[in-house]
Structure 1
Amino acid sequence: MDPRTAPVPRYGDGSLADLLPTLASGLGVPGLEAGLPLEPADRVCVFLVDGMGWEALAAHPEEAPFLTSLLPSSLGGSGRPLTSGFPSTTATSLASVGTGLPPGAHGLPGYTVRNPDTGTLMNQLRWRPWTDPHLWQPHPTVFRLAHAAGVATCQVTAPHFEHTPLTTVALSGGTFHGRLAAEERMDTAAERLGAADRTLVYTYYAELDGHGHRYGMDSDAWRGQLQYVDRLAQRLAEQLPPRSALYVTADHGMVDVPESPQFRFDFDEDWELSAGVASLGGEGRMRHLYAVPGAAGAVADVWREVLAGQAWVATREEAVALGWFGPRVEDRVRDRLGDVVVAMNGNAAVVATRREPNESALIGMHGSATSAEQMVPLLEVRT
């Protein structure tokens, strides 16, 4: 598949990276541009549901009647989705949300990427092995800029996220309110939203993504979680104080990968795929391939042949030029990208059953450029 045909996120006027700069600009925070067509509000809350893709939500109106009723409000009343950015994975998307920057600028371009200083793979969700967060991602978060501009800013999420490196580089600024129960998060978010004349509140729910990974979206467990998310969103919406805007969004969507070998290409068992690859980054639906010196071109050719019709395969230079990671890639970020970048199409994945046994066993996966993974809602409730 020609990499020029891969969908590119709408960086600048329709991606997750454009959300907080638009909202903060409407709150009077200087130095930020409004890239999305959203009306300003004095009090703004972002409720991010991990793994709630636009297509999956639209396909389940019975499980999510409240959220379904808000679909016409998406993206400023246009009824259209946002794009998550590339790759469509949690660490990358949360960094884009919090910094207001595309992946090529904030520098978290995947689930696992190579640290050019050490040559080792770094898991950017779990932050292993340890790397100085401020060196890895030096840009200020929008939350910090808003707090400095006098906006009452806070995050309301699970307590164990408070001191994680990902929170530090992507979501820090203002105050942190750890709440274990999701209902209490909704109540606290509404309370903090009304605590000052200008407020910016962020809250988060992770379990829909977790159930999708473990059981797949075609499962009662996943559908039950979506029903719960619907009730949470309605609970929060019904408590909004005056002059508020609530935005319900997500970091990515998801696809179910069938168990059949024809959909699961095993890197650890396929000598063609592993030939010339020094280390395998990314995740099942989006791979960074770090080639042995001089082998990048041959690796790209082989992967194009083996995955014919199943993936967009680009060299690093092609992916950068095509804007997959944003309109520009900072020099400190460039070598974190694979020598070859692979984005899966359809429902296939490249697993690695020996080196990644847990990830390879997942049913629901994400990371690629397909609409099911990349398109996310931006639902709006105003008072």
Structure 2
Amino acid sequence: MNGPRTGDGLEVVRPAYGRASLADVLPSALAVLGVPGSPDPLHLTDQLPGVRRIAVLLVDGFGTYQLPAASAIGGTIADLSAGRLGQHTPLTSGFPSTTPVSLVTLGTGAPPGSHGVLGISLHVPGTDRVFDLLRWGDDPDPASWQPVPTQLERATAAGVRVTLVTRPEFDGTGLTTAANRGGAFRGASDVDGLVTEILGALSGDDAPVLVSGYYREMDKAGHVHGLTSPEWAGTAADVDALITRLADGLPEDAALLVTADHGQIDVPHNRRYDLDTDPRLSSGLRFVAGEPRVRYLHVTPGAEDDVIAAWRAVLGADAEVVSRAEAVAGGWFGPVAEPHLARIGDVVVIMRDLAAMMASKHDPPSVATLIALHGANTAAEMSIPLFILRGSAS
């Protein structure tokens, strides 16, 4: 039987918007820094009295279900996971559990349905175009495609000194603009650079201060080499060193928040379908978006019921196949703004267990070579940690 098995991370998890989700991290951090109108659903003001400087580090692919393996490699991660060092608060990502969605969810403090970045690739309504958000330039315009003010903008307007620290090549991209417009930019490509730039941005006499940092290599190693590979283990050691060095260098009035955008699962190649080689699955489709664990199907007029029936018949327990209306009503995206509805497929396919839906004629060729995947609503993909560390007196 291919149904979810409780305890191995394949059970379904609902996003905890407004209570304990990635969208709640920056609003709670801004509440600590005294930004007016900032809700604090994570109760950080109770945990961080006297803190005037906060660094938020997002480690790509650092999901809760990766913590045991990472803890066996890194002592700091082990201590954080066990609650021996700082606080460990369980969170969920938004849905779909994928990087562009999560970066904008963190940056805006809003669920995906509100900010409109709803997948890794999306159909542009009214056109024949599907665009890859990881390669987003200035079309569509990021400020209009994603109209929600970012938390960095809110903080800057309130007098907080704000800095974004991420890879230099991400400066000015559509995704960076959509997620993190506002504040200064510092480029950093590796652990040494991140430590230098994050701690440098935290320093100085003026406060309050907010620094948002991003590290991608763990996710990349999982995708390319798999979660049991030496390469993934190497990135876990790097993450451990990164957190350790940042924690050791925190000013006394500072805190470090470490979280993730999603987890990952290794998907065997014998559990992968291909919609482009199966006429039962390709029939009635106009555009295909999303990624292997969550697909958005934009269908020809009048074909929705037939497409749903065909996909359910082929996939059985390996997927949940629903209409857009059903997916929205289920609350997966949070409330969806009217202009964003058409970005979701007429049909939404959420893969279950260890299955994936490839699209060999639609996706970049590299997608077929990936080992670890994410995007769906299993615990292994959506469960993420929030580690909270305070600076100590020298």
Q: What's the TM-score bracket when you normalise by the shorter of the two chains?
A: over 0.9
Q: Check if 1:213 corresponds to 2:251.
A: no
Tell me the equivalent position of 1:97. Answer: 106
Q: Which residue, 178, 182, 190 being the options, matches 2:191? A: 182
Deviations 1:160-190 (A, max 9, x none): 1111111111112111111233212112211
The amino acid that maps onto 1:227 is A
1:1-383 aligned at under 5 Å gives the runs: 6-38=12-44, 39-40=47-48, 41-73=51-83, 77=87, 79-127=88-136, 130-195=139-204, 196-260=206-270, 263-326=271-334, 328-356=335-363, 357-383=365-391
The CA distance in 2 between the partners of 1:30 and 1:306, in whole Å, is 52
Gap change, CA 1:128 and 1:276, over 3 Å in 2: farther
Secondary structure in structure 2 of the residue aligned to 1:188: helix
Secondary structure in structure 2 of the residue aligned to 1:378: strand
Gap change, CA 1:312 and 1:80, over 3 Å in 2: farther
The CA distance in 1 between the partners of 2:299 and 2:76, in whole Å, is 48
What is the CA RMSD across the aligned residues, in angstroms?
A: 1.8
The amino acid that maps onto 2:361 is R
Maintained 8 Å contact 1:123/1:129: no
Q: Deviation at 1:7?
A: 2.9
Aligned length: 376
The CA distance in 1 between the partners of 2:63 and 2:190, in whole Å, is 23
Question: Which runs of structure 1 show a deviation greater than 4 angstroms over 4 or more consecutive aligned residues?
Answer: none
Give the TM-score normalised by structure 1.
0.94
Where structure 1 has 5 or more consecutive residues not aligned to the other structure, the ranges are none
Deviations 1:169-212 (A, max 9, x none): 11121111112332121122112213232111111111111111
Secondary structure in structure 2 of the residue aligned to 1:200: strand
Maintained 8 Å contact 1:122/1:128: no
Secondary structure in structure 1 of the residue aligned to 2:343: coil
Maintained 8 Å contact 2:93/2:384: yes
Deviations 1:104-128 (A, max 9, x none): 0000000111111324212122127
The CA distance in 2 between the partners of 1:283 and 1:314, in whole Å, is 16
Q: Deviation at 1:32?
A: 2.1
Deviating more after overlay: 165-174 vs 57-66: 57-66
Where structure 2 has 5 or more consecutive residues not aligned to the other structure, the ranges are 5-10
Q: Deviation at 1:31?
A: 2.2
Q: Deviation at 1:134?
A: 1.2
Maintained 8 Å contact 1:25/1:34: yes
The CA distance in 1 between the partners of 2:251 and 2:152, in whole Å, is 21
Gap change, CA 1:201 and 1:293, over 3 Å in 2: same
Maintained 8 Å contact 2:137/2:173: no
The CA distance in 2 between the partners of 1:343 and 1:65, in whole Å, is 36
Q: Deviation at 1:21?
A: 0.7
Percent identity over the alignment is 43
Q: Deviation at 1:355?
A: 2.8
Secondary structure in structure 2 of the residue aligned to 1:213: helix
The CA distance in 2 between the partners of 1:82 and 1:375, in whole Å, is 6
The CA distance in 1 between the partners of 2:112 and 2:146, in whole Å, is 11
Q: Deviation at 1:61?
A: 1.9
The CA distance in 2 between the partners of 1:374 and 1:23, in whole Å, is 21
Deviating more after overlay: 26-35 vs 91-100: 26-35
Maintained 8 Å contact 2:12/2:379: no
